[in-house]
Amino acid sequence: MKIANLRGPRDLHIEERPLDTSNLKPDEIWIRTRVSALKIGTDRGNYEGAEHVPGAPVYPRWVGDSNLGIVMGVGSAVRRVQVGDRVVTRQPHQSEYITNEAASMVKVPEGVDDEDAVWAHLYALSSFCYRKAHFEPGENVAVVGLGTLGLGAVALGPLFGAHLIAIGNSPTRLEMAQRMGAHEGFLYNDPDLKAKLDDVTGGSGIDLVILTANPWPAYRTALEIVRLHGRVSIVSLLGRGETDLDFNPLSMSLFYTRGISLHAVSGPTGYLYPDGGGGSTMENRFSNDRAAEHMLFLMKTTSLEPKKLITHRFHYSRMVEAYEMIYHREKNMLGVLFTWED
């Protein structure tokens, strides 16, 4: 089998490793990858050697965590999937692998394209930006940062009942946001931004800002545009790779006197209504996998179509080329897929 291995900053290799698929344990599943997705923000940080990312191993380390494949074999005790099923897992970029039935995994329903389904877990994270901040239908939501994660939040907003405003740093990204369903879009440095937001919301203001961008200026924009007593849902790694701050991120004028609530979108979300399963409500009802299943359901039954954002498709053998492109911050690069069939 082949796997992408990052030996150090900007030192990515496709390595050959043995994989014994002939003696699966009762709870093991053998999966052959069809496509894997590149998450530009997180994967770029890993590739360039930014400070340690929570949950990432030290060098040498795997890269990627959005993998769609076909089940090729199952152990005698496996019940979740069967041979021939398509599944999305959190496994790294690799051609095939053996995983455990208890690992993160969702089955792809018929009628959902591979190039949509592979984004299921990323879009689940986008959905947590709403859930963790207690979003209610009818609220005005601004998404600051229009990478893959942010545009996922843009696409979900109208489906959830939001009035969705996209805030980006380039006209190209604003065009992508409109393609994904944004009702309005503005550049973050528009000198009339606050007035325009006041106009499009009828004076009620932005109830919830979803912040997916790492730079501190994006954070400042989020706090400046949210209404009094509004919420900011933060799914970015603030300050990653940035220079020292030139302002107080929790100043009275930005935070305290405005009564803003900041929500860190990390880990599972709570739920008020027990499901009777006998375990943790957070794990049983709105786990990452269940949220991903919901995203796949929306892909099957609504207009949710992540593949609209795919700008590049590479054979896995060109993976280093793709990572170098995101390292150099190619603005026309957004949704990136690797194909693994030779």
**Is residue 212 located within the same domain as residue 93?**
no
Q: 3-class DSSP state for residue 330?
A: coil
CA distance 79 to 72: 14
Q: Are 141 and 208 in contact (CB under 8 A)?
A: yes
| Residues 190 and 108 occupy one common structural domain | no
> Are 81 and 156 part of one and the same domain?
no
Look at residues 62, 57, 82 and name the one whose alpha carbon lies nearest to residue 72. 82
What is the predicted pLDDT for the residue at 284? Answer: 61
CATH number of the domain at 204, please: 3.40.50.720
Is 116 inside any structural domain?
yes
Q: In percent, how much of the chain has pLDDT > 70? A: 94
DSSP string computed for 20-72? --SS--TTEEEEEEEEEEE-HHHHHHHHHTPSPPTTPPPSSEE----EEEEEE
Mean pLDDT of 17-41: 95
Residue 287 belongs to some domain of the structure: no
Predicted confidence at residue 198, as pLDDT, reads 98
Q: Are both 28 and 69 inside the same structural domain?
A: yes
Q: Do residues 165 and 208 both lie within one domain?
A: yes
- Please check whether residue 283 is in contact with residue 268, taking contact to mean a CB–CB distance below 8 angstroms: yes
Question: Is pLDDT larger for residue 144 or for residue 9?
Answer: 144
Residues 165 and 190 both lie in one domain: yes
Whether 148 and 183 share a structural domain: yes
What pLDDT is stored for residue 109 in this prediction? 97
Q: How confident is the model at residue 282 (pLDDT cuts 50, 70, 90)?
A: very low
> pLDDT tens, 148-207?
999 999 999 999 999 999 999 999 999 999 999 999 999 999 999 999 999 999 999 999
Q: Based on the fold, state whether residues 257 and 310 are members of the same structural domain.
A: no
- 272: in domain: no
Look-up of token digits 């455990």: 100
282 or 96, which is more confident?
Answer: 96
Amino acid at 65: D
Does residue 91 belong to any structural domain of this protein? yes
- 185, 166 Cβ separation under 8 angstroms: yes
d(CA 312, CA 124): 22
User: Is 291 part of a structural domain of the chain?
Assistant: no
Number of domains in the chain: 2
- Does any domain span residue 103? yes
The reply to whether 161 and 221 lie within a common domain is yes
| Mean pLDDT score, 212-229 | 95
Is residue 147 classed as helix, strand or coil in its secondary structure? Answer: coil
Residue 13 pLDDT greater than 50, yes or no: yes
- The answer to the question of residue 288 being in a domain is no
In a domain? residue 270: no
Q: Are residues 112 and 137 in the same domain?
A: no
Q: Which domain holds residue 317?
A: 2-120+301-339
- CB contact at 8 A, 230 and 260: yes
DSSP 231-250: EEEE-S-TTTTPPPPSS-TT
Q: Of 211, 238, 264, which marks where a domain is finished?
A: 264
CATH number at residue 65: 3.90.180.10
**Residue 205, phi-psi category: left (phi > 0), alpha (psi -120 to 50), beta (remainder):** left
Q: What is the mean pLDDT of residues 217-230?
A: 96
CB-based burial label for 125 (10 Å; 0-12, 13-18, 19+)? buried
Boundary-marking domain end, from 264, 290, 310: 264
Let me know whether 114 and 137 are in one domain.
no
Same domain flag for 71 and 138:
no
Say yes or no to pLDDT of 41 above 70: yes
pLDDT value, residue 281: 47
